[in-house]
Chain A
Amino acid sequence: MKNSLGAVQSVLVLGGDSDIAFATLRELICARTRTIILAGRSPERLEARAADLRELGATSVEVTHFDGADTGSHEAFVDQVFSHNGDVDLVFVAFGTLGSQMEDELDRERTLTVIQSNYVGAVSVLIPIAAALKHQGHGTIVVMSTVAAERPRRSNYIYGSSKAGIDWFAQGLGDALKGSGVNVMIVRPGFVKSKMTSHMEDAPLAATPEEVAQAIVAGLRRNHEMVWVPGKIRWVMSVLRHLPRAIFRRLNL
């Protein structure tokens, strides 16, 4: 159960290999988290993460296979997790793919892979997860979005549109779940220095996975529905969102 100060005891991570998820789990273990289920495409890689988490103090860490793009398997996956592990206080939807805009836009298949994973896959797994949490009468869903979901940009509109899709879906889901004991929190970081972006140059207002993790934990404590990292990027995006399109385009973001 989540305690009165927002500390959770059991966590399911989808995309368990994510740097942000790992940093968040470190923070959560410091408070109350003892039970963790890491789900991802490569259980072997997750085992290394699991060992680290046990070292940090988690008493039950389980690794299981999950493929965000394989939507046909999602219902059975959620069933299996919830029937074997008791209550799950927090579900962290951290899987996704950044893709490569310039190459993807020349290849229909590659474009669809990004959409399939980030949007369709996330929607597909969120539906049974929301139902399972509703059944247990409590729980929090954390969905990783991005500031790129605020406004399409020339340089990453494929990724941006897929994240915009899941961001909006999660907002609506949060409203639909109001009063059910289940909360949805959306996390919109700017540029995050992680292995996902290791090949890219740092953007202004870049954050580390640790900073994102701290913002998530603070958001859980204060029951926030939307978390921006860093906080002031919210105001930057608010200005950018309202720029006339002709000007926005010329900014070459």
Chain B
Amino acid sequence: MLKRLKSMTGMTGEDGLPAQRLLTGWGRTAPTLATVSRPTTEADISRLMTASPERGLIARGLGRSYGDPAQNAGGSVLDMTGLNHVHHFDVENGLIGVEAGLSLQQLTSMVLPFGFFLPVSPGTQFVTVGGAIASDIHGKNHHVDGSFCNHVTAIDILTPTGERQTASPEQNAGLFWATAGGMGMTGIILRATLKLPRVETSRIVVDTDRTRDLDEVMHLQQSGDERYQYSVAWVDCMARGSSLGRSILMRGNHAMLQDLKSGERATALSTRPGPGVTAPPFVPPGLLRTSSVKLLNQAWYRKAPCQERDALHTIKQFFYPLDWIGEWNRFHGPLGFLQYQFVVPDTRHDIVRTIIEALADGGWPSSLAVLKRMGPARGPLSFAIPGWTLAVDIPAGIPDLNELLDHFDDLVADAGGRIYLAKDSRMRPELLPVMYPQLMSWRDTVAQIDPQRIMRSDLDRRLRLRAEG
């Protein structure tokens, strides 16, 4: 019975054989069918690459991109989670060599007992190292430590011509940076070597400020972020008028051993695994609507202390507040949702206000908005530029959302900002070269790496990432 149910959902590739599966991103929108294989060795991947399927192939990690970068309609998709071994770990220097399908959760639980942590933590630990590189992800420490690929010292990649190449910022740098944030278009990342920072404990010393409005939170971030390694603001994008942009600003640093009570010092580096609960498989549409999201945002805002200093949070509390609910994306119902994330240069913080104002005044059910400051990034398609980034979740399927977000895109592009490709599921292809001025040179590099256009994804087709034709 269970087997039948599983085959009905199309999720099994029994015996590791390729299976036809409908895939979506984390937003659960626009599903397409692909042949999914789950290789467990590099030889498997090599074989799949040389087979050069008619509609191309793409690597997929844990499917946490919101849109369609890890989908390939009618083509081939490699589920990389079977390659999750650690190859070497230099405890002296914090250098670790891992396979691309290893998740950040697996990596953290492995290195934390040795007193190491991730150089960059996104909002969830359920992403793979390969995915983190392909999206050049960022975390709450971007203003200090930059993007994920800044901490990658080398990658091994199987390029579409079937060559296994090693690339690093020093050697084969063109391939390295085209791959950083390159959305999988340069080949299949096999391994990566990461430089891990040392930590004394698995706790964060957190300062919390509840701010009345947007001006207050932006002022605090601008004036105080450099004192903290991590900084993030949760914005209530539905509050209007004098409360517009009211936020919870949480900033912190890794706790030292002496910050812990003496009784806790023995377990200073421990964490507890796994999500606490899982969302039910079916949630009706319209659960998260204007009224309910307003309440949700309100509750999130009210539950935070007005001001708190030196509170000890666990890594999970601080970095991954949503990871304790498995499959939380189901709460947006069968029509799914999207995340709108943009960045604008420092001088154009007015765009952040304009967009929050439009969301609040229009009563758009926007939950869990995150505001933070960013520093520069190096990949031609890396998302980050020095400035402000805002990320907002909005359910799909509501009328006129397409027009609203197109309007936001225009504002962002005009201001010299851009949309994050790992989150995008809807933008206009025309804006891509405007938002990413280095797109042309990236395309030239990729055309040399993949002359046959073997690497394909739905995102590539939708945004014409690899150019016309």
A-to-B contact residues, CB < 8 Å:
1-7, 9, 31-32, 87, 134-138, 179-181, 218, 221-223
Contact = CB atoms under 8 A, between A and B. Distances in A.
Contacts of B428: 32
A57 to B, nearest CB: 11
Interface string B252-267: 0000000000000000
**Chain B binding surface, main DSSP class:** loop
Contacts of B426: 3-5, 7
B181 interface: no
Contacts of A223: 334-335, 397
A138 B32 contact: yes
B69 to A, nearest CB: 12
A1 B22 contact: no
A179 B397 contact: no
Contacts of A5: 29, 338, 396-397, 401-402, 405, 426
Contacts of A134: 33
A217 B33 CA distance: 23
Contacts of B425: 3-4
Nearest to B397: A222
Contact of B74 (A3, A7, A138): A138
15 contacts: A1-B73, A1-B462, A3-B30, A3-B427, A4-B336, A4-B426, A5-B396, A5-B405, A5-B426, A9-B462, A31-B402, A32-B402, A137-B73, A138-B31, A181-B22
B37 to A, nearest CB: 15
Given A32-B428, A136-B55, A1 B74 contact: no
Contacts of A2: 30
Nearest to B457: A1
B399 A181 contact: no
A138 B399 contact: no
Interface of B: 10, 22, 27, 29-34, 55, 67-68, 72-75, 334-336, 338, 396-397, 399, 401-403, 405, 425-428, 458, 461-462
Nearest to A135: B74
Given A5-B338, A179-B33, 5 more contacts: A3-B425, A3-B462, A5-B405, A7-B402, A223-B335
Given A4-B30, A32-B428, A181-B32, A136 B401 contact: no
Contacts of B336: 4
A179 B33 CA distance: 8
A223 B32 CA distance: 13
Contacts of B67: 4
Contact of B335 (A7, A135, A180, A222): A222
Q: Which of the listed residues A1, A4, A136, A218 has the most CB atoms from chain B within 10 Å of its own CB? A: A4
Interface centre among B75, B338, B399 (most CB of A within 10 A): B399
Contacts of B74: 135-138, 181
Contact of A218 (B29, B33, B399, B405): B399
Given A5-B402, A135-B74, A221-B397, A179 B338 contact: no
Given A32-B428, A223-B335, A1 B68 contact: yes
Nearest to B337: A4
A177 B334 CA distance: 18
Contacts of B462: 1, 3, 9
B402 A137 contact: no
A181 B27 contact: no
Nearest to B73: A137
A87 B399 contact: no
Contacts of A135: 74
A222 B29 CA distance: 10
Contacts of A32: 402, 428
Nearest to A223: B335
A1 B458 contact: yes
Contacts of A222: 335, 397
Nearest to B336: A4
A222 B399 CA distance: 9
A228 B465 CA distance: 37
Nearest to B406: A31
A116 to B, nearest CB: 33
A137 B73 CA distance: 4
A218 B401 CA distance: 12
A236 B338 CA distance: 36
A181 B74 CA distance: 9
A50 B67 CA distance: 32
A49 B386 CA distance: 47
Contacts of A4: 27, 29-30, 67, 336, 338, 396, 425-426
Contacts of B427: 3
